[in-house]
Amino acid sequence: MFSFVLALLGLVNAIYLTVQKLFQVDYCVIGNSCQSVINSSYGMIGGLPLSIYGILFFFIIAYISYQRAFNSQSSLGFELLLLSIGGVFSIHLMIIQFFVIKSFCIYCSFSATVTIVLLVLSALRFNDENDGVSLTDFLPSRYIFTGVSVIFVFLVSLIVYSKILSNTYDIEILEKKAATSTIKDFSTTDLNNLAGIEYTKALMQIQSIRKQAFLDSIARYDAALLGLQLDQYFMAFVQNNLLMNDQNTRNAIKSLKGNPSAFQQYLDNIDDIEQKDFRNRFLDLQKDLLAYYNARFLLDTTYQTQVKDNSYGAIQIGNPKAPLKLIVFSDFLCSHCASFHATMEHLFKRYPEFFHITYRSFPIQGKISELLALYGICSANQNKYLDYADSIYENQSNITYQTIQSFIPESINKQQLQVCINDRTANNLLQDDIKEVKRLNIQATPTVFLNGYLSNIASIKTELSKLLKTDVRLFNNHSGHSHDHSGHSH
């Protein structure tokens, strides 16, 4: 019974290791990183994770243990033989883990420990029930052989089928390592984490290209139905005051049978729209196409980023329960940060109940930026952060070490400010922000996250418009795009 329970634990552990490998999650309770072991060059055999073979092994051992415990079907020699092979292999893997990879995976070690314990129990049981050893002692009973054979064939067939699927569809098991050096080996996950939000941006760009290709394909199909070229199609439904889902319009265009001159005459009788409205009309056309053909873009387009809280505090304004939670990494000497700040403050003052904003420091221009960031942190301690930020952003071009004091608003107590500047807490808060910048690999200011997603002023307005059920994009835009690069880098 005890062996059966142990084998089940080994089976569950092997399944969990397989999930870790397939989905590249890393919840290692003890040790450096389970992923560094799982994704090492020794973590795959025959193009499959070792844990797949572990599932097969522990499933068979659990079956044999069950039959022995509950059905009096014992094949101790055969069980001992299998566990001996598993034990030798487990010891081999532990030596590799500790002395070659030089890391520690608690789940891999647990699997090996379970195998060794099962081997010892089986050896003791075999010794108690056998006076001598013969070849026949290691042959399974017919009942055990049949059951093990069925399990083996079923699981192997499942593995083979999975391999066939992975060759037919976009199913991928990440390779053992993506890069190597004398320092360490790097898995794909390691490199993705090092790339931080730059990797996220690349994924978002790829998905944007895919989505646009999807929409263009539908537009070409619809244009062909109407007898139009794609440029004629966009001319009709973007530049002219026509709707693609209006059946009378569609019938009228179809009746022209693709005749270019007749099509042009038809458009001459239709009012044009102003060029400034082209962008919105193009977006509306895409929505109409999706609705008309009941089309949906199904690929995952959610790329959330987990921004770690600052251990020493935070500069925050707004409603903590607001639906729109922003985190802004900025530099007081960045011109795009000034533009973003002006527009964002306008929106915040107009709709304060919808926003909760956390300001983080990314002093991209060196020591003077760090000093300005410290003043900002200490102004926030007096609940005067926005007063300070407004003044500094408005006077960016005149800021020097010598002039900073003259641009600090009168509402701020300068004596308290100076005490705070020299305090370790403010400096620790700044350094923790810089540490998070490096972890996320943030390259530009401002970098803005909205509810965990990389964002800009346009997407903030879009989300606010959804909540208000009115279009705030029509408001004066002070900032352009919050993800425009400021021209500064590390």
Confidence of residue 480 (pLDDT cuts 50, 70, 90): very low
Question: What's residue 479's pLDDT?
Answer: 41
Pair 213, 283 in one domain = yes
Residue range 199-225, pLDDT digits in tens: 999 999 999 999 999 999 999 999 999
Question: What's residue 148's pLDDT?
Answer: 83
Q: Nearest 5°: CA angle at 466, between 276 and 246?
A: 60
Pair 105, 158 in one domain = yes
CB atoms within 10 A of CB 367: 9
Pair 160, 222 in one domain = no
Place of tokens 């996320």: 440
Pair 144, 35 in one domain = yes
Identify whether 297 is part of a domain: no
Looking at residues 100-106, what average pLDDT do you find? 75
Identify whether 402 is part of a domain: yes
Pair 270, 341 in one domain = no
User: Residue 156, Cα to own-chain centre: how many angstroms?
Assistant: 33
Question: Is the pTM for the entire model greater than 0.85?
Answer: no
Identify whether 98 is part of a domain: yes
Identify whether 488 is part of a domain: no
Pair 334, 256 in one domain = no
Identify whether 307 is part of a domain: no
How many folded domains does the chain comprise?
3
Q: Look up the domain containing 363 and give its range.
A: 315-474
Residue range 76-100, pLDDT digits in tens: 778 888 889 988 988 988 888 788 7
Question: What's residue 173's pLDDT?
Answer: 46
Looking at residues 434-440, what average pLDDT do you find? 96
Among residues 292, 325, 350, the one where a domain terminates is: 292
Nearest residue to 172 via CA among 185, 158, 188: 188
Pair 90, 146 in one domain = yes
Bond prior to 352 in cis (omega within 30° of 0): no
Please list, in sequence order, all residues whose beta carbon lies within 8 angstroms of the beta carbon of residue 414, skipping any fewer than 6 positions away.
405, 408
Pair 99, 213 in one domain = no
Identify whether 486 is part of a domain: no
Pair 382, 447 in one domain = yes
Pair 150, 217 in one domain = no
The residue that leads in pLDDT, 424 or 474, is 424
Pair 398, 286 in one domain = no
Among residues 152, 170, 188, the one where a domain terminates is: 170
**CATH code where residue 373 lies:** 3.40.30.10
